Amino acid sequence: MPRRTLAVLATITAAAAAATGAAAASMSSPLGALGNPSHSSDLTYEGYYDGHMDRYLITDVSDKAQATALHINLARSLASVKGAPAQYFIMGRAATGQIAVFGSEPGESDYNPLWEELFVTWKPGVKAVLLTSDNQINTLAKAGQLTVKDAHIVLDAPITVVGK
């Protein structure tokens, strides 16, 4: 065979083998064919849980304004979810470096990726400190130093990396 024909056959054979390998890999999933994985650049965020930082991504929310602002999916049906763990968002004044605070994380018995949004606000005259755990927030709320308000919004935001 001429070299050009051999090169074309080799290219076709390699492409077929790659496609077969990818299909076989996706078929070995417990869910069947999932499609090819990608290394997309989804935005991830940081949040505290019990004094350490976890990373999470946001996919869906029950509130139209948040869906629009965050460029994520609006899933109105999430609003009917009850018993989701809390995710605390500090509104207004906050300590330097303040980020969201989770009420659970993977490995905890009450973890799931759906969160009930709670808005935390420091009371006037109280010095804002860095909030890093739900227990800390609840203790300060009971002491009258801050308020916690249920936003009645459910957020789908799975934690993808658990910190130490």
Summarize pLDDT for 17-75 with one digit per residue, the tens.
444 444 444 446 676 776 777 666 778 999 999 999 999 999 999 999 999 999 999 99
- pTM reported for the whole predicted model: 0.78
Would the CA dihedral through 104, 110, 112, 117 be positive or negative?
A: negative
129 HSE (CA, 13 A, CB side) = 11
Could you tell me which of 142, 44, 144, 56 has the C-alpha nearest to residue 103?
56
**Spatial distance between the Cα atoms of 90 and 100, rounded to a whole number of angstroms:** 7
Query: CA-CA distance, 86 to 149, in Å (whole number)?
Result: 11
Contact partners, residue 52, CB within 8 Å, separation at least 6: 132, 163, 164
- With bands split at pLDDT 50, 70 and 90, how would you rate the model's confidence at 125? very high
